[in-house]
Amino acid sequence: MFDAKVHVIDHPLVAHKLTIMRNKNTSVKDFRELVSEIGMLITYEATRDLPLTTKHIETPICGMEAPTLAGKKIAVVPILRAGLGLVDGVLRMVPSARVGHIGMYRDEETLEPHVYFCKMPKDIAERDVMIVDPMLATGGSANAAIAEMKRRGCRHIKLMVLVAAPEGIECIRKNHPDVDIYCGAVDEKLNDVGYIMPGLGDAGDRIFGTK
């Protein structure tokens, strides 16, 4: 019935910024700033379908019926921890969005994701939801986060990531064909411990400087 689309943000600024992020010598400060900047650029594309209405305004020259957002309710939902790095960029583009948090950790051996925290705006079921996380690797975390949002009644969900692996995209397309994916790049594959190749390493550790 649905056919989830993968939107790769094919833009020189995104490509350039991602290259700096991929470099293992990039500092925590620069990495964190770049996550936020690319978050802003991807949000620009991910909000392209927001409905507009018009309102009457007076310019200094004359009156006009001017376009204005139709007031859709949006929630940005970062997958903890690394998803937090993208929130600021989304909010700079959509300042009225609400923020819900979903905590997800992966069992280090099985790579199975578990929800350990979920705090959403009360009216989350009425909102368009943008789940954000820098990495879509096996897809396990995003898959579980989307399932949790659907369990809470959300029907319009998008997934925004910086780097995706083909395996993760396949996982989301198979389990959630109604969820469009917005990403800065699709990389080659996963390595044998579930990291994206070439990727950018452990996004959470690089954002928060924990390694």
Listed residue (12, 103, 88, 98) closest to 43, CA to CA: 88
d(CA 39, CA 36): 5
d(CA 9, CA 6): 9
- Beta strands in 94-174, from DSSP E residues, in sequence order: 98-99, 101-106, 113-119, 128-132, 135-136, 157-164
Does residue 85 bind ligand URA (CB under 6 A)? no
**Interaction mask 166-195, ligand PRP, x per CB under 6 A:** --x-------------------------x-
Identify the active-site residue in 59, 202, 206, 210: 202
Are 42 and 183 contacting, i.e. CB atoms less than 8 angstroms apart? Answer: yes
| 72: CB partners within 8 A, 6+ apart | 50, 51, 128
Residue for token pair 């700096």: 20
Does residue 199 bind ligand URA (CB under 6 A)? yes
For ligand PRP, which residue has the nearest CB? Answer: 204
Residue 106 falls in the annotated catalytic set: yes
Are 131 and 57 contacting, i.e. CB atoms less than 8 angstroms apart? Answer: no
Does residue 124 bind ligand PRP (CB under 6 A)? no
The residue within the footprint of ligand PRP, chosen from 134, 146, 199, 206 (CB under 6 A), is 134
Residue 138 falls in the annotated catalytic set: no
Region near ligand PRP per CB under 6 A, out of 23-31, 46-54, 61-69, 131-139: 131-139
Does residue 106 bind ligand PRP (CB under 6 A)? yes
180 phi and psi, to 5 degrees?
-75, 145
Identify the active-site residue in 173, 205, 206, 210: 205
Partner in contact with 139, chosen from ligand PRP, ligand URA, none, beta carbon below 5 to 8 Å by kind: ligand PRP
End-to-end CA distance of the chain: 44
Name residues contacting ligand URA, limited to 115-144 (CB under 6 A).
135, 137
Residue 110 falls in the annotated catalytic set: yes
Strands 128-132 and 157-164: parallel
Residues with catalytic annotation? 106, 110, 202, 205
**Residues contributing to the site for ligand URA (CB under 6 A):** 135, 137, 194-196, 199, 202-204
Interacting residue ranges for ligand PRP, rule: CB under 6 A: 79, 81-82, 104-106, 111, 113, 133-142, 168, 194, 202-204
